[in-house]
Amino acid sequence: MDLSNQNVIHVKKNGEEFLQFRKLLEYKEVKHAYSLGLDKNFRTARANNVEIPPEEYKEVLNNYKEVSDAIGINYLNLVKPNQNHTDNVQVVKSKIEKDKPDFNLPTYSNTDGLITNKKDIALATTNADCILLLFYDPIKKVIANTHSGWKGTLQRISVKTVEKMQKSFGCNPKDIICCICPSIRKCHFEVERDVETMFEKEFSDLGDLSNIIEETKKGIKWHIDTVEINKIILQRAGLKPENIIDSGICSVCNKEIIHSYRAEGKDYSLSTAIISLV
């Protein structure tokens, strides 16, 4: 299987498989990857930050090390938020742990987005259907990595990431590149009335939502295009359309190689997206 398309390259290197965005590969000062393969799990904690068994955690760390090695960064530089479907975005000024990745730290509790302008700090997020967004401002040399599930999308965390890049580093939205990793797409994101109503209300300012919210079972089920919503609100935040780069890949449609909660069920594993300045 090769997931390469006009926006991403499917890389197979040293036994690792991952995606890279063609646009970000134009910048030598940026390293990045989105992991592939169901044999890899990047879960660092269970629900409510409950620790996982030592042997399982050791394997997870090794998975992070192997993909980091493949893209040329030190896995000890990794910083990951304790994602909880919030709209909280933090600036990373320095590593906290010196001899291991910054995983499961109270500093990043209830946080779903990270921003930094520091070299050799690698920002990581994880998903199994949720949207992961990799940001880069090539003028100010600032990166961000944001997790936006449907709850995060409702809270417009993608826009809040851009706003924090502006406030903290003086970034101009016109310069910011945003890359959208594989996630569940409209074809499989089916919801009931409670969620549909929330989206109708929150995004009423977008005008006609008929192409975004589609009724599939009259009065019972709807499909929602959360990726398209993020594209629209990011453009309204000032990003150029050509700087919003979508992998165009559905995690459920490609469940043979990408982790998906909808496909795997309660015992699902996680993929990771990593970005670093070097």
Residue 242 has pLDDT above 80, yes or no: yes
pLDDT of amino acid 190: 97
The per-residue DSSP string of 61-81 comes to HHHHHHHHHHHT--GGGEE--
Residue 86 and residue 66: Cα distance in Å, rounded? 29
pLDDT digits (tens, 9 = 90+) for 153-167: 999 999 999 999 999
- pLDDT 10s digits, 72-81: 999 999 999 9
> 134: closest CA among 225, 245, 12?
245
Establish if 234 belongs to a structural domain: no
- The CA distance from 184 to 92, in Å, is 28
3-state helix, strand, coil in the chain (%, to 5): 30, 30, 40
| Alpha-carbon span 96 to 131, nearest angstrom | 27
Better-predicted residue by pLDDT, 60 or 50 = 60
Residue 65 lies in a domain: yes
Q: Give phi and psi for 161, each to the nearest 5.
A: -65, -45
pLDDT at 62: 98
> Please, are residues 179 and 245 in contact by the beta-carbon 8 Å criterion?
yes
pLDDT attached to residue 260: 98
Share of the chain above pLDDT 90, in %: 94
111: number of CA atoms within 13 Å, CB side?
A: 24
At residue 46, does pLDDT exceed 90?
no
Say if 95 falls within a structural domain: yes
Interval 214-232 mean pLDDT: 96
CATH number of the domain where residue 253 is located = 3.60.140.10
- 239 in a structural domain: no
Residue 133 domain-assigned?
A: yes
Token look-up 């993929």 returns: 271
Whole-number average pLDDT of the chain:
97
| Residue 236: inside a domain | no
In a domain, 235, yes or no: no
Q: Decide if 228 is inside a domain.
A: no
Residue range(s) defining the domain that contains residue 51? 8-183+245-277
Count of structural domains within the chain: 1
Amino acid, res. 143: I
**According to the model, what pLDDT value does residue 219 have?**
85
